[in-house]
Structure 1
Amino acid sequence: MKIALIGYGKMGKAIEAIALEQHHEIVLRIDLNNASDFTAENIALADVAIEFTGPHSAVENILKCLELGIPVVSGSTGWLDEWDRVTSFCKEKNGTLIYSSNYSIGVNLFFEVNQYLARLMEQYPSYDVMLKEIHHTQKKDAPSGTAITLAEQVLAGITRKSSWSNQPEQTNSPVLSILSERIDPAPGTHHVKYTSAIDDIEIIHTAHNRTGFAGGAVTAAQYAIGKKGIYNMKQVLGLV
């Protein structure tokens, strides 16, 4: 598989290491220093693009890949207010887009556990619920995309919560609190905690490094080849 890396920071380099270990080829590496190399001629060398940049550049990067007919796997967060525009363009171009807020296999299993637990806890209103996420100080968006996914899953299962907010916990509020902390060196930890006067129930996912995220992105890239449409990691991992 020939891969174009759009974004060559820490995640891009971690993806490169996993891809090369699996005998794939990196044919293009794009970062801020060589953005002018992101051309139709260069991207045409790739079977798939893996895009991990920032919220301000992700949309244009994805649209450019789709315009040029290259399947794209995006792990950038903070741009989902443009989701409808991007997915409409993907359909218009008969392109391929895989998006996940987190490509780690462990996190996607954690998502499944979170949904199941929320459905159970709906029956026990004496428990309040809150989320906390911890990441390194270079992470620009807060809350994390993963925390937002977890919050939306909780809201889908717990009707006594009507919305989420990145604010300190307010006991028994209809607003689901997400606390964000930025501490080095923290690849990522997510807590979902149910608390009552009697006891607490808490599920936690802690990443030890970026390998899980990078490996999942490479798996998604393999899945994208030969397909058309819009996919997520549930489909990549066969969880649907």
Structure 2
Amino acid sequence: MKIALLGYGKMGKTIEKIALERQHEIVLKQSSTPIDKDALQEADVAIDFSIPEAAFTNITTCFQLGVPVISGTTGWLDQYEKACEIAQKENGKFIYASNFSLGVNLFFQLNAHLAELMANFSDYKINLEEIHHTEKKDAPSGTAITLAEGIIDKNENYSAWKYPANKANNSELPIEAKRIEDVKGTHKIAYSSTIDDIEIKHTAHTRDGFALGAVIAAEWLQKKTKTGIYSMKDVLHAFTAQ
């Protein structure tokens, strides 16, 4: 499979390593704009881990050129619906995920299941904490937002999430974001009462998990004959259905 890497920072370089290990070819490595469209057209799939300011243009350019695209860039989701409209208009294939780690996507499902179990126990107050490296530009993380939305969907006591956590009212799920040097990514959800605490936590030790998930998603999407908007749930289903 021929891959275009849109965004060649730490994540892009880790994706390149994983992709080469899985016998794929990198035909474009680009961090600047505008995109080299000639090189992009040679790709079977593009993987976008760029910056929020570039993501929408990167993604929609792929749609216009008929290149399936995987995006893990966060901080641009105010334009997500518009990107999906363009994908449908151009018969594109698209997966966006706030986190491509297979472990995190299993954690998303665990989080939703626990939220459903806890929905009727209002004595427990929920707090969501995320920790990332100091170079991460957006806060809270896209992964934390996805976790918060998963809880809100199952628990009618919360109508929205709030960052920073100390600004949350009783109907808002508080998110605390910390930035510590060289932390790959930690997310913790705590249910606390006066009697006890219940916690679930995911800790990433390296970037390899994110990169592997992105490459696996790209492999899955490239083989998908039907155009459309997909998610990591679709990719995971391919594993669990086996």
Q: Aligned ranges for residues 1-240 of structure 1 at < 5 Å?
A: 1-32=1-32, 35-36=33-34, 38-169=35-166, 173-227=170-224, 228-238=227-237
Query: Which TM-score applies when normalising by structure 1?
Result: 0.95
**Percent sequence identity over aligned pairs:** 52
Paired AA for residue 10 in structure 1: K
Distance in 2 between the 1:217 and 1:28 partners?
Answer: 16
Residues 91-132 of structure 1, C-alpha deviations (whole Å, 9 max, x = no match): 000011111000000000000000000001012111010100
Please say if residues 6 and 53 of structure 1, whose CA atoms lie closer than 8 Å, have aligned partners that are also in contact.
yes
C-alpha deviation, 1:135, in angstroms: 0.1
Letter in 1 for 2:117: L
- Matched residues in 2 for 1:182 and 1:171: separation? 20
2:168·2:174 contact (CA, 8 Å) conserved in 1? no
The one-letter amino acid of 2:234's match is Q
Query: Post-superposition, which runs of at least 4 consecutive aligned residues in structure 1 deviate over 2 A?
Result: 168-172
**What letter matches 2:11 in structure 1?**
M
Q: From the superposition, tell whether residues 60 and 170 of structure 1 become closer, same or farther in structure 2 (CA, over 3 Å).
A: closer
Aligned counterparts of 1:130 and 1:157: Cα–Cα separation in 2: 15
Q: Which amino acid aligns with 1:127?
A: Y
8 Å CA contact 2:129–2:175 kept in 1: the answer is yes
Q: Cα gap change, 1:234/1:68 in structure 2, threshold over 3 Å: closer, same or farther?
A: same
Q: Distance in 2 between matches of 1:62 and 1:171?
A: 34
> What TM-score, normalized to structure 2?
0.95
3-state secondary structure, aligned to 1:130: strand
Tell me, what secondary structure is at the counterpart of 1:132? strand
State how far apart, in whole Å, the 1-side matches of 2:169 and 2:222 are.
47
* Residue aligned with 2:19, SS: helix
Q: Separation in 1 of the partners of 2:167 and 2:115?
A: 19
Give the AA of the match of 1:182: R
Query: How has the CA–CA distance of structure 1 residues 85 and 78 changed in structure 2, closer, same or farther, with 3 Å as cutoff?
Result: same
AA in 2 matched with 1:232: S
Could you list the per-position Cα deviations for residues 182-232 of structure 1 after superposition, in whole angstroms to 9, with x for gaps in the alignment?
001101000100000000000000000100000000001001114311111
Q: CA RMSD in A?
A: 1.4
Deviations 1:2-25 (A, max 9, x none): 100000000000000000011111
Shift of 1:90: 0.2
- Equivalences, count: 237
> 1-side partners of 2:79 and 2:46: how far apart?
19
Distance (Å, rounded) in 1 between the aligned partners of 2:64 and 2:135: 31
1:47 maps to amino acid: D
When residues 163 and 171 of structure 1 are mapped into structure 2, their CA distance, relative to the original with a 3 A threshold, is: closer
Structure 2 residue ranges without an equivalent (≥5): none
SS in 1 for 2:165: coil
State the shift of 1:173 in Å: 1.3
Q: Give the 3-state SS of the residue equivalent to 1:107 in structure 2.
A: helix
Shift of 1:170: 7.0
Structure 1 unaligned blocks of 5 or more:
none
For residues 171 and 58 of structure 1, do their structure 2 counterparts lie closer, same or farther at Cα, with a shift above 3 Å needed? closer
Aligned residue identity for 1:235: D
